[in-house]
Structure 1
Amino acid sequence: LGNFTFRGSHAVLGCAITWIFGLIASAPPLFGWS
């Protein structure tokens, strides 16, 4: 990846995106949507 360095901020961002998509995917059943 060249001079790309994996920092904590990247890990946090990745986790946040995963959580957001997970919440979006699980939200409809929680609200009773079909």
Structure 2
Amino acid sequence: MPIIIKLRLSLDKIDYSWGFSLGKFYLAAITHA
């Protein structure tokens, strides 16, 4: 059980960092357009 929870947390962390990078890229594209 703890292994599944740890895996889930790491997946959420990856998803968050990916979404944050995508958001920064999108914001930069809008600003420079």
1:19 maps to 15
> What 5-or-longer segments of structure 1 have no aligned partner?
1-5
TM-score by length of 1: 0.62
Query: Could you say which structure has the larger radius of gyration?
Result: 1
- Larger relative contact order (Cα-Cα within 8 Å, sequence gap ≥ 6): 1
How large is the Cα RMSD of the aligned pairs? 1.9
Higher helix share: 2
What fraction of aligned residue pairs are identical, expressed as a percent?
3
TM-score by length of 2: 0.64
Unaligned regions of 5+ residues in structure 2, if any? none
* Runs of at least 4 residues off by over 3 Å: none
What is the number of residues matched between the two proteins?
29
